[in-house]
Structure 1
Amino acid sequence: MRFSRFAFVLLATASPAFAQTQPSVDTMREVTRTLSSDAFEGRAPGTAGEEKTVAYLIEQFQKAGLKPGNNGQWTQDVPLVELQAKNVSPLTFTVGGKTMALSYGPEMVVGTYQVTPRIDVANSDVVFVGYGINAPERGWNDYAGVDVRGKTVLILVNDPDYRMTTLDGPFGGRAMTYYGRWTYKYEEAARQGAAAAIIIHQTEPAAYGWNVVQSSWTGAQQVADAANGHSDQSKAIGWIQFDQAKALFAAAGLDFAAAERAAGAKGFRAMPLKGATASVSFDNAIRKHASKNVIGILPGSQRPDEIVLHTAHWDHLGRCEAAPDGDDICNGAIDNATGTAALVALAEAHAKAGAAPRTLAFVAVTAEESGLLGSAYYGANPVFPLGQTVGGVNMDALSMAGPAKNVVVIGRGKSELDAYLDRALAAQGRVATNEPTPEKGFYYRSDHFSLAKYGVPMLYFEGGDDLVKGGVAAGEAAAKDYETNRYHGPKDEFDPAWDWTGAMRDVQLYFDVGRALATTDAWPNWVAGDEFRAIRDRSRTR
């Protein structure tokens, strides 16, 4: 059912003690500036930048008035393995007696989940498997009738129906499902036994340009530690440039556009690239380490065993592909020094407002940029029982485009947390809107997803796209400028000239929602029929 009338009454009658509390813009500005400075070297897990970040966050959490959140400790160890590809050969395709050699970085990127010192894929047959989806519940299997064990699979990114303008296609229409995420593509290819899984990059369905792929994949990579060293995964995973893929298809006597169209129709059958083989090799520098989630709490005054979560990832890419001016530090000012700063500012504001009935927890998670690894570890190894976790908010990349008339809710309509946000928005004279680009799959790209998978309702929204100055056109232009020129690159840097007005309105929303959740005794749920509802219901009855 939808949010109950009883819960609205609880919200409406909650203590007004926090009504005038405002998170500090000075705290937001200073924490963002510090975390994104060159001294923190891009905050990559397992580096000196992590050590500085964790120490700084503990200091800031203490200063804000928090107590250690992990049984008297400030941190939770997250076992990771750092893999650094060395001596990467070109990715070569041999077809029709000719060889295409794709260079590492500009034309292809490659890595592995396998914790092994050497990767060799030699003369592996090549098969185009469309979108690489095996979804029995939807009657869809791109691997039907083909054996790809030991072979190299080429995969399209996103879902087969991403070009639709509506949301009623076999895979959510315009909205991406998890089947469309690159992480799923590699997971399924491994289940099918592929030796190598290569995604064909296209900017629209990927939601970012090749520059983002190159900067994200050519440095040290983090994987979760595992007893089997991920030996069940494909040897090599990576991406190739769109133009290179088209040339490869043409060399194999296939028209890429026709193959892509075929892949979008139910009943598609995988297409071997006749006579084509793939080869790639590289060494792996391996280092095991324990990264850190940083956890602080404000204990509840009445029901301290009931937890309201606030999450943001502290990590970024560290040193990455250099900009033309030689700058190779991906500072991650927007992504996600701003969200981490919001954790500190919110903790500070809640402490000033006084203890709430429920416990407020603030969790700065690691390795989001490596596939949500820190939040995934927390979800599998929760410090606070998930059945006693009321719900929470996640903050990732606050907008510096200026004040907006709206916020864009990622996954709007999925949970009863929407009502809490709507109430907070009404106090600001603003509204919630749906994602304008659901095909980008933002729901699966930040840490709220790791908690949602375990049934915990999590609210995640982005800064509004309908700006007070310039409207939707200005909002779209600002988003495009950031994605093209700064996202996952060295120029995502702190700007002293930023207008913090819009970001602080959004942080105020997070404060109001978090405080309301900590004050009411209601237990918000996912709406009836949502994919996470049954998981939540089971956890709450244990």
Structure 2
Amino acid sequence: MKSSFRIAGIAVLALATATAAPAAPKKAAAKAPAIDATLMRQMVQRLASDEFEGRAPSTRTEPKVLNYIISQFKAAGLKPGNKGSWLQAVPTVEVTASNASALTVTGAGAPLSFRFGDDYVAGSYRAVPKTDIKDAELVFVGYGINAPELGWNDYAGLDMKGKIAVILINDPDYAMETQGGLFKGRRMTYYGRWTYKFEEAARQGAAGALIIHDTFPAAYGWNVVNSSWTGAQYYVQSANNGMDQTEANGWIQKPVAEKIFSTAGKDLAALTASAKEKGFKAVPLGLKAGFSFDNAIRKSNSHNVIGVLPGKQAPNEYVLYTGHWDHLGRCTADARGDDICNGAVDNATGIAALAAIAKASAKAGPARRSQVFLAVTLEESGLLGSKYYAEHPVFPLSQTVGGVNMDALSPTGRSRNYSITGGDKSELTGIFRNVLKARGLIETPEEDAEKGYYYRSDHFPFAKQGVPMFYVERGTDLVNGGTAAGRAAEDDYRIKRYHQPSDEYSPKWDFAGILQDAEINMALGRELAMSKAWPNWHSNDEFRLIRDKSRNGK
């Protein structure tokens, strides 16, 4: 589950301190324009309606979704942000698998056979008409990490050509209660993300990669994996049609992995414990696996929507507000036969907040810097829309100060606490804390840091290019109901609604918390837009050198 990105507070302008001589009376600071909560409710209801069929990119409904967002951006007072156009094309490949075979495992005793969907899922990043892996050796590579700076390489001495890497999810020290481990303990690093594990398997030349699903370290149940991997998959077009990727990537249920390891005469639990230790050596399982599926290939363009409010004093410096408009489209049907994953929370709420903040910002008048409102596509396919913008920016990233990202704002009411997702990584933290103080809110550590939320939304591609972004979470200490109610609501969404047809709008939603998030996101963005400061990453952060190089070469 992606966290609800809920940031705190509007900075209060201090009155001038009295001097010995009487000072002339000063006007009180103008109150920020109110966020239009009715607009947000209307937008969430519309974006999450069956009319938009789950907002899948590059489908017949994309133009309707884009036109609706553009109409709201226009009404808010934005100007087209891409050289007179509202849109930035993102060249896309859609790969839809069909006729998937069972996953068969041979080499010891009777062959094992596992069903697609129930036991395993897989897809290809290659734009080829058929994927057919036969008799590929299975190799357990622990957590599948190659981190030279940490002296860690799970692939040391291996030749993975023609083989399938069997990989554990998350980091080796995710089960720690603290964040003091080599891989930051409880806090997931990028090495723990499934996207990294597939990327590294491809760099190692593997034919395939299968991640062992385990609910706690994965942060979601098998139902989420199933719904996310059984429909169309989207990728940004590449010159080589993805041929530098593995032939297939996928997931297997943990009980499936246990059967496979047992057949190989191995104990998964014991090998998992070994994989947590530095110096772990990969273990060939002495088994071979095969599976196949057909691929329907369609190349098209999806689109980011870009609007801008030009700045007054420094119009060539930019602050970003981001949120993704896409969701899963049609997915695995539930017990009622509903096969539309409407994505009401994820992320109709973020787009509604984006438009409402734009409207309030326009009413507030020009800021010192330009404010860019970016509704990105293909987040659900691996943050591809924001990745494409970050690699092909309309506004130079060397002149982009930072920004705020909004994703999955929870309808659980106002909270007393907020936290920084990813931890204290940059000088944005100081602004965040000042804002919290101004609103009487409490900073608490990120909840569920092991779930790796920092790497799961659209600020991350900007971070990889050196741009710091606010990505902050409304806490579960609710004004009405406290932490018990807050955690119950979060668990209900994660288990029963996230990436499922049941993520639907309800008129019973409490918009107070979503309104709180929008007010706060606007405040933090406005603080950056009005400032002359250039917040940087802390000196020991992995993105600091990238930012320094970008700014020095501007």
Tell me the TM-score normalized by structure 1: 0.96
Matches within 5 A, 1:189-200: 189-200=201-212
Match of 1:210 in 2: 222
Matched, 1:77 2:89: yes
What amino acid is the match of 2:183?
F
Matches within 5 A, 1:279-294: 279-294=290-305
Matched, 1:29 2:59: no
Q: How far is 1:100 from its partner?
A: 1.3
Match for 1:54 among 60, 63, 66? 66
Match for 2:421 among 410, 426, 431? 410
Q: How far is 1:13 from its partner?
A: 8.0
What amino acid is the match of 1:236?
A
2:132–2:293 CA contact under 8 A, matched in 1: yes
Note closer, same or farther for the CA distance 1:516–1:13 as it changes in structure 2 (3 Å cut).
Answer: farther
The number of equivalent residue pairs is: 534
Match of 1:466 in 2: 477
What do residues 68-97 of structure 1 show as CA deviations (whole Å, max 9, x unaligned)? 001111010001100000111111111313
Match of 1:476 in 2: 487
Match of 1:243 in 2: 255
Note closer, same or farther for the CA distance 1:11–1:103 as it changes in structure 2 (3 Å cut).
Answer: farther
1:158–1:180 CA contact under 8 A, matched in 2: yes
What amino acid is the match of 2:388?
Y
What amino acid is the match of 2:36?
S
2:224–2:498 CA contact under 8 A, matched in 1: yes
Match of 1:372 in 2: 383
Match of 1:180 in 2: 192
Higher relative contact order (CA 8 A, sep 6+): 2
Q: Which runs of no fewer than 5 residues in structure 1 stay unpaired?
A: 1-8
- Partner SS, residue 186 of structure 1: helix
Cα distance between partner residues in 1 of 2:327 and 2:387: 17
2:105–2:113 CA contact under 8 A, matched in 1: yes
Cα distance between partner residues in 2 of 1:520 and 1:425: 18
Match for 1:353 among 357, 361, 364? 364
Matched, 1:171 2:183: yes
Match for 1:314 among 325, 342, 345? 325
Matched, 1:132 2:135: no
What amino acid is the match of 1:302?
Q
Note closer, same or farther for the CA distance 1:173–1:502 as it changes in structure 2 (3 Å cut).
Answer: same
The root-mean-square deviation of aligned C-alpha atoms, in Å, is 1.6
Match of 1:433 in 2: 444
Match of 1:444 in 2: 455
What do residues 122-173 of structure 1 show as CA deviations (whole Å, max 9, x unaligned)? 0111111110011111111111122221011110000000001111111111
1:80–1:222 CA contact under 8 A, matched in 2: yes
Q: How far is 1:109 from its partner?
A: 0.4
Match for 1:269 among 281, 300, 304? 281
1:11–1:516 CA contact under 8 A, matched in 2: no
Q: How far is 1:67 from its partner?
A: 0.2
Cα distance between partner residues in 2 of 1:416 and 1:10: 19
Q: How far is 1:428 from its partner?
A: 2.3
- Partner SS, residue 82 of structure 1: strand
Cα distance between partner residues in 1 of 2:423 and 2:36: 28
Q: How far is 1:382 from its partner?
A: 0.5
What do residues 279-302 of structure 1 show as CA deviations (whole Å, max 9, x unaligned)? 011111000011000000011111
Q: How far is 1:417 from its partner?
A: 1.4
What do residues 253-288 of structure 1 show as CA deviations (whole Å, max 9, x unaligned)? 1111111111111111111112x1100111110000
Cα distance between partner residues in 2 of 1:456 and 1:170: 25
Q: How far is 1:463 from its partner?
A: 2.1
- Partner SS, residue 21 of structure 1: coil
2:89–2:303 CA contact under 8 A, matched in 1: yes
Cα distance between partner residues in 1 of 2:12 and 2:175: 43
Matched, 1:99 2:111: yes
What do residues 367-416 of structure 1 show as CA deviations (whole Å, max 9, x unaligned)? 00000000000000001011111110000000211111012321231111
Q: How far is 1:38 from its partner?
A: 0.4
1:463–1:503 CA contact under 8 A, matched in 2: no
2:73–2:355 CA contact under 8 A, matched in 1: yes
Cα distance between partner residues in 1 of 2:238 and 2:548: 30
Q: How far is 1:431 from its partner?
A: 2.2
What do residues 42-71 of structure 1 show as CA deviations (whole Å, max 9, x unaligned)? 001011221111110111100110000011
Cα distance between partner residues in 2 of 1:158 and 1:120: 28
Farther-moved stretch of structure 1 (418-427 vs 146-155): 418-427
Tell me the TM-score normalized by structure 2: 0.94
Q: Which runs of no fewer than 5 residues in structure 2 stay unpaired?
A: 1-10, 17-26
Cα distance between partner residues in 1 of 2:276 and 2:437: 42
Q: How far is 1:114 from its partner?
A: 0.6
Note closer, same or farther for the CA distance 1:293–1:200 as it changes in structure 2 (3 Å cut).
Answer: same
Cα distance between partner residues in 2 of 1:16 and 1:210: 55
Matched residues, percent identical? 57
Note closer, same or farther for the CA distance 1:502–1:16 as it changes in structure 2 (3 Å cut).
Answer: farther
2:109–2:263 CA contact under 8 A, matched in 1: no
Match of 1:5 in 2: none
Match of 2:410 in 1: 399
Q: How far is 1:427 from its partner?
A: 2.9
Matched, 1:146 2:166: no
